Amino acid sequence: MDPLPHAAIVFLIILGVAIAVAISYGIWSLIHGRDPEDSLEPTQDQAVYMREVRLRNHDWMAQTYGYRYERGVPAQGLAYQSSGRSSKGSYV
């Protein structure tokens, strides 16, 4: 039986080290657990900023496409009307 070539031995060593690192990380994460601050929920500051950006973009789109509105005032302009006979409607 022929011995393994050197490239195969190096590959197996690298594969073994990768598996050892994965197992070590798994054990470490079980011991230390998750930090509650690593949550996927945005912070209050981030949520406020995202709202400001959305409103700014909404203002920009309204100005670009000629739709006039003021914040805090009910929107007037495009309204969706259903035809009643089918699921299709139209914008007026």
**Residue 70 in this model has a pLDDT that exceeds 70:** no
pTM over 0.75: no
pLDDT value of position 92: 44
**Residue 15 in this model has a pLDDT that exceeds 70:** yes
Phi (first) and psi of residue 84, to 5 degrees: 85, -30
Mind listing the pLDDT tens digit for each residue in 18-60?
Answer: 999 999 999 998 998 877 666 678 888 999 999 999 999 988 8
pLDDT value of position 38: 66
Residue 23's region, left for phi above 0, alpha for psi from -120 to 50, else beta, is alpha
pLDDT value of position 8: 95
